[in-house]
């Protein structure tokens, strides 16, 4: 599961888990701090914020050439963060607060541990479910009418499956990024799996945007989206050479976040 639905909106899971974990952590420090008349909430929030800022900054530096504008750098919806740098930054800020505010130590450590353990536990459960998801052994038609099996396309190669539709704005925006990545990583199989649209609509759309993909398939019933619990589009699924899903990305993927994922997969 990479997204959840709130009313008419589909949102990525990871940021919601982080926010939920932080709220629980703040509740814990508020309860403990009230007993001792100590306010620790601001310190806990600053740890999270600084860790995210540093993680984003390091990620941008590593993949700076993939960003075309300042807006792309600031747009954290691609969820491009350097995890190790975020951890080090959070640890540094935590130690700073523990040293500067000794009365906060026990409460801040408890709140930080609560936030981290809750976030990692929920994330691990979700990731464990994702790791059990294999590339579906399904066949779909191309816009030209021929039938192609997903396993035959993958053929023990790293595979990227993008769920998209022509009416989806983020899908349209990320298509040049995916087309460029397909050329840059010829060892990776890219499958553009359209969701619930007829062949003529897909063909007209692809002709209009003037982009070429090796594999464009039609999932007219949305079978893969249903199997993956995708409540919105776009969604990008990453499979290793054994056909096991190793990660997924709900929402528009940036050139930097896509490059980071592909480099990790192709160098393992």
CA distances from 70 to 6, 60, 86, 142 (A): 30, 11, 21, 38
**Residues 77-95: pLDDT tens digits?**
899 999 999 999 999 999 9
Q: Cα dihedral angle (160, 165, 168, 171), rounded to 10 degrees?
A: 20
Tell me, what's the pLDDT at 62?
96
Tell me how many degrees the CA angle 92-93-99 measures, rounded to the nearest 5: 90
Can you name the residues that pair with 191 across neighbouring β-strands? 161
Residue 181: Cβ within 10 Å count: 19
Mean pLDDT of the region 102-127: 94
pLDDT band for 130, please (50, 70, 90 cuts). Answer: low
What are residue 37's phi and psi, to 5 degrees?
Answer: 55, 45
Tell me, what's the pLDDT at 5?
59
Tell me, what's the pLDDT at 2?
62
**Residues 232-264: pLDDT tens digits?**
899 999 999 999 999 999 999 999 999 999 999
pLDDT at 11 over 70: yes
Residue % of the chain over a pLDDT of 90: 84
pLDDT band for 196, please (50, 70, 90 cuts). Answer: very high
Q: What is the C-alpha separation between 261 and 154, in angstroms, rounded? A: 17
Tell me, what's the pLDDT at 1?
59
pLDDT band for 10, please (50, 70, 90 cuts). Answer: low
pLDDT band for 167, please (50, 70, 90 cuts). Answer: very high
| Complete DSSP assignment for 202-244 | HHHHHHHHT---S-EEEETT-HHHHHHT--SS-EEEEE-TTSB
Domains recognised in the chain with CATH numbers: 3-131 (no CATH), 139-267 (3.40.30.10)
Q: Which two tokens stand for residue 25?
A: 């952590």
Q: What is the C-alpha separation between 133 and 119, in angstroms, rounded? A: 22
């Amino acid at each position: 599961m990479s997204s959840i639905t709130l009313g008419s909106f589909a949102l990525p899971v990871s940021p919601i888990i982080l926010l939920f974990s932080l709220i629980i952590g703040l509740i814990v420090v508020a309860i403990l701090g009230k007993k001792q008349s100590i306010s620790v909430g601001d310190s806990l929030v600053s740890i999270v914020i600084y860790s995210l800022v540093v993680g984003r900054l390091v990620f941008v530096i590593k993949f700076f050439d993939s960003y075309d504008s300042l807006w792309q750098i600031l747009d954290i919806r691609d969820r491009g963060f350097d995890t190790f740098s975020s951890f080090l930054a959070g640890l540094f800020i935590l130690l700073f607060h523990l040293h500067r505010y000794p009365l906060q130590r026990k409460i801040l450590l408890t709140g930080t541990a609560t936030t981290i353990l809750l976030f990692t536990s929920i994330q691990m459960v979700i990731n464990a479910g994702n790791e059990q998801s294999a590339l579906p052994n399904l066949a779909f038609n191309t816009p030209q009418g021929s039938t192609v099996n997903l396993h035959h396309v993958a053929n023990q190669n790293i595979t990227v499956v993008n769920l998209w539709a022509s009416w989806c704005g983020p899908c349209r925006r990320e298509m040049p990024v995916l087309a460029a990545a397909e050329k840059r990583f010829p060892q990776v199989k890219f499958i553009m799996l359209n969701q619930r649209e007829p062949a003529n609509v897909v063909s007209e759309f692809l002709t209009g945007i003037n982009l070429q993909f090796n594999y464009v398939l039609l999932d007219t019933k949305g079978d893969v989206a249903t199997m993956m619990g995708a409540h919105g589009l776009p969604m990008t699924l990453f499979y290793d050479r054994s056909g096991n899903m190793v990660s997924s990305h709900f929402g528009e993927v940036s050139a930097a976040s896509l490059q980071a994922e592909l480099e990790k997969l192709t160098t393992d």
